[in-house]
A and B are shown apart, each in its own frame.
Chain A
Amino acid sequence: MSLAGTERRRQLFTASIGTALMLVMGLALIWGFRLATHMRANIIALQTASTLQTYPEEISHQLNALRDRLEVRAYSGQALADLQATVKRFDQELRVLSGSVDADSPQLGHALLLWHQYAPVLEPVVSFGGQPYVDSDNAGSSLSREGREHYAEVKRAQLFASENARPLQTQLANLATSLERTSSAGATRLRSLLMGGVFAALVLAVVAAYFQLSRARHERAAREAQEQTRDILKTVREGFFLLDAHYRIGSVWSEALTRMFGRNDFAGLTFEELLEDLVPQSTLATAMKYIKLLWGDRAHENLMKSINPLGQLEITTDNGHGGKETRYLQFDFHRVMGPEGIKHVLCSVGDITSSVLLARELHDSQENANAQLDMMVGLMHVDPLQLVSFLDTAETGLKLVNTILKEPARTDAEFRKKLAGLFREMHTIKGEASALNLKSVAMRVHTLEDMVGDCKKKPELSGNDFLPMVLKLDELLAHLRNVREMAARVTALKDTSAGSAATAAADFAASAHAPLAPAPITAMAPAPAAPAAPPAPAAALTAPAAAAPPARSANQERPARRVEELSPALQSMAERLAQDHAKRFRLTLNGLAEVPAPYTATIKDCLIQMLRNAAVHGIEPPEVRRAQAKKDTGNVQVDFRRTAEGYELLFEDDGAGIAPEALKAAAVRRQLITEEDAELMDTRAAMALIFRPGFSTQEDITMDAGRGVGMDVVARSVYALGGKIGVSTHPGKFTRFKIVLPATDSLSTAVA
C-alpha cells in the first residue's frame, strides 16, 4: 500500500505543478493580450499625434494663403476650402486622440486647452460662406462688407496662430513623445511577459514530458507484472482463485482450474455452484459451512486447516467420452487480510488423484501382505495332512467343476443340470474349507456359489452365463495354488523350528509340488486381498502326530489318520457353528480312527454336512431348550464302528428333531413337490424328502446351510459306495442318521 501511496503522491505533485504553470501561462497571455491591445491603441494615438503636430503649422500657412488671397483680391474660395478641411480634420482627429489617450495626459490637456482657445478664433473664418468681393468697373474688385469682416477675422486668426500655433505644435509633439515612451515601455513589458510565458511553457513541457515518461515506465512495469501474473496463472499446476465475502470467485484464476473442472466461466461463480454437480449434497453442505467459518474470525488458521473437509475431495466428472471419471482434489484455504479484517479467501486446488490412487495401491498391497500373513498363521494351526487332503479334494472337485462347465449343453434342461452339478461340488468344497477355517477359500467358493444361484434364477440360460464362473474358477484355482505354496512354506518353517523332520512334512512338500506347479509367491499380489483368517480355536491345535495311533499298516496309516485328524477340525467347526448361530452344544466323536481308507473322504463330507445341519436345524437355541426342560448345552454324538457286514456310522443330536409336516411344507415351498403330493405322503416318505436334491428348510442362505444342497449330497455319496442311509427322529427329542457301508473288500473295485 505504501508503494501505491508514493506513486499517487508523486502523480498529484506533478499534476499540481502542471496546473500552476498552466495558470501562470494563462494569466500571462491574458495580460499580454491586454498589453498588446493597449499598445495598439497607443501606436494609433502616436500616429495620430504625429500627424496632428503638423496641422497647426499647416493651418497657419493656409491662413496666410487665405489672407494673401484676400489682400490681392484673388480667388479665395479654394484656400478657404483647404483651411476648412484641415481644421475639420484636426478637430476630428484631436477628438479621436483624446478618446484614446489617457485623459490625465498633461500634454493632451494643454493641447486641448490651446485648441479650445484656437478653435473659436478659427470658427468665424471657416464658417464664412459669403461673397468676399464686389465687382465695380472702375476700381476692379474690392472687398465687400462681408469680405472686410472676413479679412479681419482671418487676420485675427492669423495673429492668434502666430502666437499659439507653435505651443500647440509643441504640446502635440510632446504628446507624441510621451506616447512613444509609453509604447516602448509597453513593448518592453510585453516582451518580458512573453519571455516569462515561453519559460513557463518550457517548464510545463518538461514537467509533462517527465510525467508522461514516468507514467509510461509505470505502465510498462504494470504490463510486465500483469504478463508475469498471467504466465504464472497459465502455467501453475494448482488451481488458484480468490473468494469474496459472498463466496464468489474473483476474475483472476489459474488455468489449471479449467482442466480440473472442465469449464472456464469461473469469474463470478459461487463456490457452491462450482461444486454442486460434482459432490454429494451432504459434502457440499459441509463445505459451505466450512467456508462460512473461514470468513468468521473465531478460529485461527491452523485450526481451520486441521478441520478442512475438502482436503481430499472426491469428485465425479464427465470424462468427455460419455463416461464418468472420479478424481480427487485437494482444496487449501488461506485468509487474505486487509486493513478491515478478512478481505478475500485464497483457495488453491490440487489434483491429487494419482497420489491418492498410489496410496490406495500401497494400502491394498499392505492389506494383501497382511492377509497372506494371516493366512499363513491360520495355516500353521491346520494339520498339514488335513490341508493336503483338502487341497487334493478341492482341486479334484474344481477340476470336476471345470469339466462340468466344459460339457457341451444346448437345452435349458441341460444347462440346469450343469448348474445343479456345479452347485453340489462347490457346496462340498465350501463345507470342507469352513471346517478347516480356510475362510479365504470358503469366501471365494461362496461367491462362486452365489453366481450359480443367480444363474439358476434366470428364466433362460445360455453358454455365456457360465463365462464369469470360469473366470472366478480360475481365480479360485490360483488361490488354492497360493494356499498350497504357502502351506509348503509354513510346513518347512515348522519343521526347521521344531527340529523334527516329520514324514508328514516331506509328504506335504511333495504333494505341494506334484499336482500343480505352484505359482511364485509374488504372483499373488494382483489377487484380491484374502479375508484374514483368524487363528483356529485351541481345540484345533492338538498336535496331530502325537494323537496318531502307532500300530497301523503302512498303506492304511495316512488315510486313516486323515479322518482321525479331522476331529480337531470338526471340533473347531462345531465351535464356529455354535458361535455363528448362537447355539450351545458338545460334539463327541468316537471311533473315527476305524474308518478305512476308501471311505475317508465320504465319511468326512458326510460328517461336515450333518454337523452343519445339526447346528443349524437340530440344536435349539439355549433359551428354547431351557423352556423345554432340556439342558442348555446340546449333544451331538458321532459313533463309527465295524460291524459284521461292514461299517456303521451313527450321527445323533438331541435337538428339535424333524417334523414331517415342516419337511413337506418346505418341499412345497421349494416346488420340489406339489401340495397334492404332500398330502398323500406318509411320514416315511416325508422324511425321505431331506435326501432329495435341492431340499432345504432354511430360508436365508448362509455359509452353512440353506442352499438346498446337503443331505442329498451325503445320500448320493453313500449310495455311490454301495451303502445306505436312514434317518429316525422324534420331534423335540432327537434326530439320528444312520449310514451303513459295506466291508471295504467287497467294493474295492468300485472305489478304486
Chain B
Amino acid sequence: MSNGRMNGNGKRSFKLMIVDDSNLMRRRIERSQQFEELQLVGTAADGVEALELFRRTDPDVVTMDITMPHMDGIECIARLVAMKPAIRILVVSALADKATAVEAMERGANGFLNKPFTDRQLNEAIAELMR
C-alpha cells in the first residue's frame, strides 16, 4: 500500500478512522481488529463528522457505514477519495441491497463487509484492504 507510514521500528503503520452512527458498532470494530500496525485516530458518527475528523487526522484506512444522518456513507466516500485518492475504505453496512455496494465501490471504496460480521471476517477484510 502506497500510503503506509514507517514508524520507529521500521514497520509500516496505518491510521484508522471508524465511521458508524452506532456507538456499539464503533466499539465493536475498534475492539475486534487485531492489527498492531493500525492506529485508531478517531471515530465519527456521520459523514460530516468524518470529513471534519479526516481533515484533522489524515487517516489511511477507514471503515464506513452507509446509512447515517447528515451525510451518508456513499457521499462521504466520494469526498474522502477526492481529497486523498490513496485512502483505503472498507464499507461496513447492513444494507443487503447489492446496488449500494456497487455504488460505494464505484465511488472509490475498496472493500465491502456485511453486518453482522464475525471478528474473523472483519480482520480478513481489513487485511485485504491494507495489502
Interface check A6, CB cutoff 8 A: no
Stretch at the interface among A304-312, A334-342, A625-633, A700-708: A304-312
Contact status A292-B106, CB under 8 Å: yes
Interface check A286, CB cutoff 8 A: yes
Contact with A along B96-131 (1 / 0, CB 8 A): 001101110110001110100000000000001000
Contact status A303-B112, CB under 8 Å: yes
Contact status B105-A307, CB under 8 Å: yes
Q: Which B54-107 residues sit within 8 Å CB-CB of chain A? A: 98-99, 101-103, 105-106
What chain B residues lie within 8 Å of A303 (beta carbons)? 111-112, 128
Q: How far is the CB of A703 from chain B (nearest CB, A)?
A: 32
Stretch at the interface among A224-232, A293-301, A346-354: A293-301
Contact status B110-A286, CB under 8 Å: no
Q: Which B13-47 residues sit within 8 Å CB-CB of chain A? A: none
Q: Which A274-320 residues sit within 8 Å CB-CB of chain B? A: 282-283, 286, 289-290, 292-293, 298-300, 303, 306-309, 311
Q: How far is the CB of B58 from chain A (nearest CB, A)?
A: 22
Contact with B along A131-147 (1 / 0, CB 8 A): 00000000000000000
Contact status A309-B98, CB under 8 Å: yes
What chain B residues lie within 8 Å of A292 (beta carbons)? 106
Bound-state CA distance A303–B111 (Å) is 7
Chain B contact residue count (CB 8 A cutoff) = 12
Contact status A286-B99, CB under 8 Å: yes
Which of A286, A299, A306 lies in contact with B103, CB distance below 8 A?
A: A286
Contact status A299-B105, CB under 8 Å: yes
Question: Per DSSP, are chain A's interface residues mostly helix, strand or loop, or mixed?
Answer: helix
Contact status A308-B98, CB under 8 Å: yes
Bound-state CA distance A286–B74 (Å) is 14
What chain A residues lie within 8 Å of B99 (beta carbons)? 282-283, 286, 309
Bound-state CA distance A247–B99 (Å) is 19
Contact status B112-A286, CB under 8 Å: no
Q: How far is the CB of B4 from chain A (nearest CB, A)?
A: 18
Q: How far is the CB of A308 from chain B (nearest CB, A)?
A: 7
Contact status A289-B111, CB under 8 Å: no
Which of B106, B110, B114, B128 lies in contact with A289, CB distance below 8 A?
A: B106
Contact status B102-A286, CB under 8 Å: yes
What chain A residues lie within 8 Å of B103 (beta carbons)? 286, 289
Q: How far is the CB of A284 from chain B (nearest CB, A)?
A: 11
Q: How far is the CB of A393 from chain B (nearest CB, A)?
A: 45
The closest CB in chain B to the CB of A292 belongs to B106
Q: How far is the CB of B125 from chain A (nearest CB, A)?
A: 9
Given known contacts A298-B110, A299-B110, is B128 in contact with A307 (CB within 8 Å)?
no
The closest CB in chain A to the CB of B104 belongs to A307
The closest CB in chain A to the CB of B131 belongs to A300
Bound-state CA distance A286–B105 (Å) is 11
What chain B residues lie within 8 Å of A307 (beta carbons)? 98, 101-102, 105, 112
Q: How far is the CB of B80 from chain A (nearest CB, A)?
A: 15
Contact status B98-A293, CB under 8 Å: no
Q: How far is the CB of B77 from chain A (nearest CB, A)?
A: 13
Given known contacts A306-B112, A308-B98, is B106 in contact with A293 (CB within 8 Å)?
yes
Bound-state CA distance A286–B128 (Å) is 24
Q: How far is the CB of B126 from chain A (nearest CB, A)?
A: 13
What chain B residues lie within 8 Å of A293 (beta carbons)? 102, 105-106
Bound-state CA distance A307–B105 (Å) is 9
Q: How far is the CB of A147 from chain B (nearest CB, A)?
A: 128
Bound-state CA distance A292–B106 (Å) is 9
Bound-state CA distance A303–B112 (Å) is 7
Contact status A289-B112, CB under 8 Å: no
Contacts from A to B (Cβ < 8 Å) = 282-283, 286, 289-290, 292-293, 298-300, 303, 306-309, 311
Please provide the 3 A-B residue pairs with the shortest distance between their CB atoms, ordered closest to farther: A309-B98, A307-B101, A286-B99
Contacts from B to A (Cβ < 8 Å) = 98-99, 101-103, 105-106, 110-112, 114, 128
Additional A-B contact list (14), CB under 8 Å, known A299-B105, A299-B110: A286-B98, A289-B102, A289-B106, A292-B106, A298-B110, A300-B128, A303-B111, A303-B112, A306-B101, A307-B101, A307-B105, A308-B98, A309-B99, A311-B98
Query: What are 14 residue pairs bridging A and B, where the CB atoms are less than 8 Å apart in the complex?
Result: A282-B99, A283-B99, A286-B102, A286-B103, A289-B103, A289-B106, A293-B102, A293-B105, A298-B110, A299-B105, A300-B128, A303-B112, A309-B101, A311-B98
